[in-house]
A and B are shown apart, each in its own frame.
Chain A
């Protein structure tokens, strides 16, 4: 098993490889199309803006590689910005087309009285339906969030988990072998490790 981690050169890759290695999993950084070949799983991590993320995926010629990987049926996990890039389009840094692996768009969280933005800190994920990646979660578990934009899936079918930050937004999204989480499992201690272990033992069947 080789867990490929897409490295677009923005953001924190170290802590993700750190936690996967701690769990005894083999990781490989992916920087060009030929790196994808022998990976069994793919993680699209991310800190950064939607615009910057997509621009870099295209410049490195790996946007197509990710889409091909998804079509091969192997499991993909998008984290934070990586989750957003799975969508059809995003409005952060100007409107841009995403990888279109899960229909939906990325919009700014609404400004609400009594709630501070960005949404930063630990918050609860409520499961809407069971999924192989959320197996073993305790009821109402907390994960670490740090974001201002959120994923609006086109279909409620793909909403796996939601979180309340004044409004309820989709914090876990899944369609077939593609899954995305708004929070950072690599920063969420035990609960995050459960999700990452689930992902790395997942065959891609939802």
Chain B
């Protein structure tokens, strides 16, 4: 049986890891290579490494970081942030990424997903979607680290990326990011109902019960930053808790 996954998020900025609140006010939370080793030892199921520098390009420092992580942490690594071309993705894979997360570029470069899917297979192409509530029930999709509102609706965008060959969805609620008030389960349910792709939900995890609620709402994987950064919590403890609720999880 396929297991549900618990995935720490690492936000990379100028060689360090930071944690944001609603995509703003980054606080230093450690070193990317050391943190990844710790998460790996704590039985995290995968890692997400996102480059959030505003001049985001896949530069040498970032690709070196990927390389160092992949040499010292033997768990699957998803890498994103500023991947705008086939050559950016190539560099990430060559450096040790197992999957790439495309986000802003998907809105502008129509064929980037299909190009990558053709070369690396759909399973290696994750599409990240950053979502913020506009009013009451309407969600807006945002690119460029949450700064630019896109005109496409959630369901239409998902349908587009699925038909282009995306293999997985990484959904972040900007409103909930860093607030530790729980995942946006309404958003999650809408995404789960929109496609057959596996869904990773992020933004808002404040305790292990939030993870349970997300799994119950159809998430294949829960991702979190603050929960593991700002408390005595880790993937081992999360799994020990969730096993009481019969959530299928990897036995190490």
Contact = CB atoms under 8 A, between A and B. Distances in A.
Interface of A: 10-15, 18-19, 21-22, 47-49, 52, 81, 92-93, 111, 115-124, 140-142, 144-148, 164-165, 184, 186-190, 192-193
Contacts of B72: 18, 22
Nearest to B126: A120
Contact of A122 (B5, B70, B199): B5
Main secondary structure, interface of A, reads mixed
Minimum-distance CB pairs A-B, first 10: A14-B96, A18-B71, A122-B250, A118-B123, A15-B70, A122-B3, A142-B250, A146-B123, A187-B76, A116-B198
Contacts of A189: 40, 43, 74-75, 252
B119 A48 contact: yes
A187 B118 contact: no
Interface string B118-130: 1111111000000
Contact of B124 (A19, A47, A115, A187): A47
A48 to B, nearest CB: 5
Nearest to A17: B71
B97 interface: yes
Interface residues of B, number: 42
Contacts of B198: 116, 118, 120-121
B197 A117 contact: yes
Contacts of A111: 196
A184 B98 contact: yes
B19 interface: no
A47 B71 CA distance: 17
Contacts of B221: 121
B101 to A, nearest CB: 13
Nearest to A51: B118
B183 interface: no
A68 to B, nearest CB: 28
A18 B77 CA distance: 14
B94 interface: yes
B220 A10 contact: no
B120 A47 contact: yes
Interface in B81-104: 93-99
B238 to A, nearest CB: 15
B5 A121 contact: yes
B185 interface: no
B70 A47 contact: no
